[in-house]
Amino acid sequence: MQCLKLEVNNKPAILERVLQVVRYRGFELISLQVSPQGMDMLTVFITVDGVQPISKLTNQLNKLYDLAGIIHLNLAQSENAPHENAMRTA
Amino acid sequence: MNGAQYILHFLEQKQVHSVFGYPGGAIMPLYDAMLDSSIKHYLARHEQGAAFSAIGYARSTNSVGVCIGTSGPGATNLITSLADAMLDSVPLLVITGQVATSSMGSDAFQEVDVLGLSLSVCKHSELVTDIRELPAALEYSWELAQEGRPGPILLDVPKDVLLTELNDTDIKQSSGTQTSTTSEMQVIDGHQQPVSEINQLLEQAQKPLLYVGGGVAMAGAIQELNDFIERSHLPSVSTLKGLGCVPSAHPYYLGMLGMHGLPGANIAVQECDLLLVVGARLDDRATGKLDEFAPHAKVVHVDIDAAELGKRRATHIAIQADVKQILPLLTTHQDYDEWNAHLRQIKAEKAVQYSDFSASARPDAPSVLHCLSEKLPKNAVVACDVGQHQMWVAQHMQFTTPCNHLTSGGLGTMGFGLPAAIGAKVARPQHTVVSVSGDGSFMMNVQELGTLKRYGIPVKIIIMDNQRLGMVKQWQELFHEERYSETNLSCNPEFCALAQVFGLTARELTNNNQTEEALNWLLEQEGAALLHVRLDEQQNVWPIVPPNTANHKMWEQPSCNA
Ligand SMILES: Cc1ncc(C[n+]2csc(CCOP(=O)(O)OP(=O)(O)O)c2C)c(N)n1
């Protein structure tokens, strides 16, 4: 299982876009948590499971126009202080 | 200025001269405004045709194609073309009308959730519900269509937004985040693997090979590619969409690889020790059985789309970059003489023998297309449909740039050829445009003959008629024990008569020994014309790599068929 933290523009269809990429690229959604961030943004945490390396998913998510950043939270690290691998920043 | 007028004003600013589309209720304000605009609209006879024409326009000029449709059925008819543009990385701006914002979500007449439908077939899409967002949406859609890896962008605009007046004062700036990577070089996976490492690999390699994809031409890097080939003496193979980047007569060039690739190209890939992939995505029709693809090679992959790097085949070095910037940096001191001589020998042994048209026989498809290719000017555009004839075009015709070879590569959409040819002829009226169709594919967008007639567009059409869904028939023959299920089209209409009622001149080619004369006739016609070539239904495309098989285990033409 892998956890990703996404920062996205709060646009109609943004969650559909994210979930569609997750499904189409062969990952199973385990959990989803969404919260507003400021006026125009959302923070989305997704936990996914899949046989492919997580980069196959993050590379595709990175192509979403309304995505501002992805951080891969490494669950293997201590739960209190998840290790943040910046995949991209805006 | 209202929203509709603004859209046309925007397109004028972007130097768009021609757009393709089909009107209807929700998009009527835009069509109304068109009467007062300098933009020339081409009315297709089906939205799919309109969008394929926009694709033909875009691909033949390496610029953005524009297409317009109405809500509901207009938009759903566009979906196939959007998917086609998505898979072939074609920059499109598609504008659809939507029902008025007040009725949205009520299952109104001709309402369909276009934004929802668009998600998997567009690079990006947007529903513009506020007139103040329209200018920014148009601007970034235009940029996004072309930037990085190109693709189709859809803007769905409700009718009331098209009719709302736009005040200069309340234009909103884009709230979108500029996220796509541009041409600036970026090294993937955190490894510091600069170009010099590629050069080191080139130095060490005994059998390097260049794998050229459609991205090279999209990046405008054909010159840089050929300069690199000249200074490095690297042999090269091409994907379907890369055809035309390297001149076919070039001594180090081996032709197209893949399922219907040339033997020399497929063998070279299987034998090479370094595969340098530029502007390509290693698609399954090109690689054959992936586990056995290029088994001895270290793979270097350069592409603008990071998601393609290592997607199907692990790489030794992967660089997300504009190939135009990388190619000039590549060098080697080796000359690879032995390797080139070896490949040249295979290429010569496997060279195709064409008919000299002296024998009386049914027309031979490869020879007809080879002869056509010799007769066409270098700047002619050839569009084709999907099937055996498409592969014959790729194998036996020569191109000087992928912009002159319009083929539905990723989606493989029958019905692509005629409307794509129309778009190309609109974009490049001074150049000869030929559409090569199969009898099955031709009927998929046959209504576009009406578009030819309406505007007097002088496209030349060749129907390679085997009275079969030939490619499917070939698979039934080879892989399904000759169980021919629903591939017999001997009920076809009389194609010449059909063409004539749409105002085209038409004739048949029934005998091999009339090939030259018939092709001369076609190319001499002033207006739109159709040549109906009656093929032997038994003719198959060779070689063929059977499904799930390594590319070097291709089947070649059985000698009894020769
Ligand atoms: C829209 C669409 N439907 C179905 C197919 C599957 N298909 C691939 S090739 C082919 C046969 C094409 O026949 P034709 O156009 O006559 O060309 P030929 O192979 O005979 O040259 C079919 C049905 C497709 N590629 N596109």
- Please identify, among B172, B207, B225, the residue that sits at the C-terminal boundary of a domain: B172
Q: For a pocket test of ligand 1, which of B46, B386, B388 has the largest count of ligand atoms closer than 8 A to its C-beta?
A: B386
Instruction: Report the b/e string of A45-60 with b at 16+ CB within 10 A.
Output: ebbbebeeebbbbbbb
Closest Cα in chain A, distance from residue B369 (Å): 39
The reply to whether B453 belongs to the active site is no
Amino acid identity, residue B475? W
Q: Of B28, B104, B110, B398, which one is the catalytic site residue?
A: B110
- Over its C-alpha atoms, chain A yields an Rg (Å, rounded) of 12
Rounded Cα gap, residues B101 and B167, in angstroms:
19
Residue B397 · residue B382 · CB < 8 Å = yes
* CATH number of domain containing B89: 3.40.50.970
Residues B156 and B45 in one domain: yes
Q: Which domain holds residue A27?
A: 2-88
Q: Which residue, of B172, B203, B238, is where some domain finishes?
A: B172
Strand duo B253-256 + B274-278: pairing: unpaired
Average pLDDT taken over every residue of chain B = 95
- Site residues for ligand 1, CB cut-off 6 Å: B 385-389, 412-414, 438-441, 464, 466, 468-472
Instruction: Find the catalytic residue in B224, B471, B474, B476.
Output: B471
Residues B165 and B46 in one domain: yes
**CA pair distance B163, B182, nearest whole angstrom:** 35
Q: How far is the CA of B407 from the centre of ligand 1 (A)?
A: 13
* Residue B468 CA, ligand 1 centroid: distance in Å: 9
- Cα(B487) to ligand 1 centroid in Å equals 9
Is residue B172 pLDDT above 90, yes or no? no
Distance from CA of A73 to the nearest CA of B (A): 16
In a domain, B178, yes or no: no
Q: Do A63 and B144 touch (CB under 8 A)?
A: no
User: CA of B422: how far to CAs of B49, B252, B264, B273, B455, in Å?
Assistant: 9, 35, 35, 43, 10
Task: Say if strands B65-69 and B92-98 run parallel, antiparallel, or are unpaired.
Answer: parallel
Note whether B116 contacts A13, CB cutoff 8 Å: yes
CATH of the domain at A46: 3.30.70.260
The set of residues, in sequence order, having a beta carbon less than 8 Å from that of B351 and lying 6+ positions away, is none
* Rounded Cα gap, residues B543 and B262, in angstroms: 7
CATH for B229: 3.40.50.1220
3-state secondary structure of B316: coil
Inter-chain touch A63–B180, beta carbons under 8 Å? yes
B306 in A contact zone (CB under 8 Å): yes
The residue whose two tokens read 């629903």 is B486
Residue at B354 is within a domain: no
The answer on B165 and B293 residing in a single domain is no
Q: Looking at the complex, does the CB of residue B314 fall below 8 Å from at least one CB of chain A?
A: no
Q: Are B386 and B259 members of one domain?
A: no
Amino acid B476: pLDDT = 98
Indicate yes or no: CB of A56 within 8 angstroms of CB of B311: yes
CB distance B361 to B512 below 8 Å: yes
Domain boundary among B108, B139, B172: B172
**Helix B365-375 and helix B515-524, axial crossing angle in degrees, nearest 10:** 40
Which residues, in sequence order, are bridge partners of residue B488? B468
Q: Measured between CA atoms, how close is A84 to chain B, in angstroms?
A: 15
Contacts of residue B15, defined as CB under 8 A and 6 or more positions apart, other chains included, come to none
Q: List phi, psi (to 5°) of A26.
A: 90, 25
Are B477 and B381 within one domain? Answer: yes
Rounded alpha-carbon distances, angstroms, from residue B556 to A35, B396, B401, B544:
60, 16, 28, 7
Confidence band for A85, pLDDT divided at 50, 70 and 90? low
Residue A82 scores a pLDDT above 90: no
Mean pLDDT over residues B364-378, rounded?
Answer: 98
Task: Assess B305–A contact: CB distance below 8 Å, yes or no.
Answer: yes
Q: Is B109 a catalytic residue?
A: yes
| Whether pLDDT at A86 is above 80 | no
Q: How far apart are CA B16 and CA B41, in angstroms?
A: 11
* Residue B524 covered by a domain: yes
CB contacts, 8 Å: A64 with chain B: 179
Residue B138 sits in which domain range? 3-172
% residues pLDDT > 70 (chain B): 95
**Window 168-197 of B, Cβ < 8 Å to A:** 175-177, 179-180, 189
- Active-site residue flag, B159: yes
What pLDDT is stored for residue A56 in this prediction?
95
The model carries a pTM of 0.95
Q: How many domains does chain A have?
A: 1
Ligand 1 atom showing the smallest separation from residue B464 Cα: 21
**C-alpha pair distances (Å), B540 with each of A8, B199, B557:** 51, 42, 8
User: In the structure, what pLDDT confidence band is assigned to residue B8 with cuts at 50, 70 and 90?
Assistant: very high
Do B440 and B554 reside in the same domain of the chain?
A: yes
What is the percent of chain B where pLDDT is above 90?
A: 94
Q: Are B468 and B489 in contact (CB under 8 A)?
A: yes
pLDDT of amino acid B459: 98
CA distance B356 to chain A (A): 51
Ligand 1, pocket-test mutation among B87, B411, B443, B471, most atoms within 8 A of CB: B471
Q: How many CB pairs under 8 A join A and B?
A: 53
B318: which residues sit within 8 A by CB, 6+ positions away?
B188, B189, B193, B300, B301, B302, B309, B310
The pLDDT, as a whole number, for residue A74 is 72
Q: Is B479 annotated in the active site? A: no
Same domain, B225 and B322: yes
pLDDT at B181 (0 to 100): 39
Same domain (yes/no): B201, B345: yes
- DSSP β-bridge partners for residue B298: B274
Report the alpha-carbon distance of residue B55 to residue B65 in Å, rounded.
Answer: 6
Are B168 and B281 in a shared domain?
no
CA distances from residue B447 to B12, B49, B91, B372, B534 in whole angstroms, order as listed: 29, 8, 25, 25, 22
Q: With respect to residue B357, please indicate whether it lies within any of the assigned structural domains.
A: no
**In the structure encoding, which two tokens stand for residue B170, read together?**
């309340």
| Number of the ligand 1 atom closest to the C-alpha atom of B411 | 25
| Per-residue pLDDT at B184 | 34
Domain assignment of residue B359, yes or no: no
Q: What is the pLDDT of residue B194?
A: 76
Residue carrying the six token digits 């199973």? A28
The CA angle B297-B301-B302, to the nearest 5 degrees, is 155
The residue whose CB lies within 8 Å of the most ligand 1 atoms, and thus the one to mutate among B389, B469, B485, B540, is B469
Q: What value does the mean pLDDT take over residues B384-413?
A: 98
Tell me if B360 is assigned to some domain: no
CB-closest option in A9, A20, A88 to B119: A20
Catalytic residue among B1, B13, B40, B109: B109
Do both B463 and B505 map to the same domain? yes
Q: What is the DSSP string of B288-308?
A: SSGGGSSTT-EEEEEES-GGG
Would you state the pLDDT for residue B173? 65
Task: Band the pLDDT of A69: cuts 50, 70, 90.
Answer: very high
Which neighbouring-strand residues pair with B136? none
Q: Measured between alpha carbons, how far is A75 from B396 in angstroms, rounded to an integer?
A: 55
Stretch A23-47: mean pLDDT, rounded? 97
Give CA–CA dist B14/B551, Å, rounded.
Answer: 45
By alpha-carbon position, which residue is closest to atom 20 of ligand 1?
A: B470
pLDDT of residue A75: 63
Measured in angstroms, how far is the CA atom of residue B277 from the centroid of ligand 1? 29
The band of B15, judged by pLDDT with boundaries at 50, 70 and 90, is: very high
**Are B477 and B430 in a shared domain?**
yes
Choice between B177 and B78, residue whose per-residue pLDDT is larger: B78
Residue A87 C-alpha to ligand 1 middle, in angstroms?
42
Task: List B residues 115-144 in contact with A (Cβ-Cβ < 8 A).
Answer: 115-116, 119-120, 123-127, 144
CA B106 to chain A, closest CA, distance in angstroms equals 17
pLDDT for residue B60: 98
| Both tokens assigned to B268 | 């070279």
List the catalytic residue out of B20, B47, B388, B473: B47
The whole-angstrom separation of Cα B268 and Cα B320 is 25
Q: Would you say residue B238 has pLDDT above 80?
A: yes
Whether B177 maps to a domain, the answer reads no
Instruction: Kindly tell me if the per-residue pLDDT of A31 is higher than 90.
Output: yes
Structural domain count, chain B: 3
Segment B173-208, tens digit of pLDDT: 655 444 443 333 334 443 345 799 999 999 999 999
- The model's confidence at residue A76, banded by pLDDT at 50, 70 and 90, is low
Residues B151 and B211 in one domain: no
Reported as a single tens digit per residue, the pLDDT across A40-63 is 999 999 999 999 999 999 999 999
Q: Residue B489 CA: which ligand 1 atom is closest?
A: 16
